[in-house]
Chains A and B, each alone.
Chain A
Amino acid sequence: DTAVSQTPKYLVTQMGNDKSIKCEQNLGHDTMYWYKQDSKKFLKIMFSYNNKELIINETVPNRFSPKSPDKAHLNLHINSLELGDSAVYFCASSKQGGSGYTFGSGTRLTVV
């Protein structure tokens, strides 16, 4: 029944590793997003995909690469993890026009 589900919920990894976070939505939404919430709880857009096409890529290092195999999935792959990547990453989806915004429960990434 979960509308936007992301896995894993927690991820602890060493610097330099590569990791992926998966996101799936069953709402039939056309647009999916990745947001980053830093240690000060500030939430910022990273990527936006509309019908599998990249719409926006904010100033995110190219170590971060989103992949959308279909409009219900938007995965986030991170290469060469750094300490500063530690944060909570939220996946979200919405209808065209931005209504019906629904967030996943977040993935807490800790890089040690």
Chain B
Amino acid sequence: KQEVTQIPAALSVPEGENLVLNCSFTDSAIYNLQWFRQDPGKGLTSLLLIQSSQREQTSGRLNASLDKSSGRSTLYIAASQPGDSATYLCAVPNSGGGADGLTFGKGTHLIIQP
């Protein structure tokens, strides 16, 4: 059964720093991998979706990489801002098509200090 682990569980850094969030998964036969952001009391917002054939995806200051063979993904946040403070979740589909839902990591709680 797929397991997703995120490290670190929490991170607090000063504004302006570049940072890396890590995600690992046990079953490398994934269809894609997604990074989500969750703000307190809110739902999840999809940040980046990387297909299994891709190595990375970029959106603004966010860059996500995927190494299927080693079962790892990283989310790189450049020039962090206080508005980036949130919980970041990594998720992979339970089956190829994704209709079986996603398996999530427990998230990285990120605080950017002004």
**Residues of A that sit less than 8 Å from B by CB:** 4, 31, 33, 35, 40-45, 48, 50, 55-56, 58, 90, 92, 94, 96-106
Q: How far in angstroms is the closest Cβ of chain B from A13?
A: 20
Contact partner of A45 (CB less than 8 A), chosen from B32, B41, B100, is B100
* Band of interface residues on B: 20 to 34
Q: Offer 13 A-B interface pairs, CB within 8 angstroms, sorted by A.
A: A41-B87, A41-B106, A41-B107, A50-B99, A55-B99, A55-B100, A56-B100, A90-B44, A92-B44, A98-B31, A98-B102, A101-B49, A103-B43
User: What is the number of contacts between chain A and chain B, taking CB atoms within 8 Å?
Assistant: 67
Q: How far is the CA of A45 from the CA of B2 in the complex (A)?
A: 13
B residues at A contact (CB < 8 Å): 31-32, 34, 36, 41-46, 49, 87, 89, 93-94, 97-104, 106-107
Interchain nearest-CB distance for B43 vs A (Å): 4
What separation, in Å, do the CA atoms of A43 and B31 have in the docked complex? 20
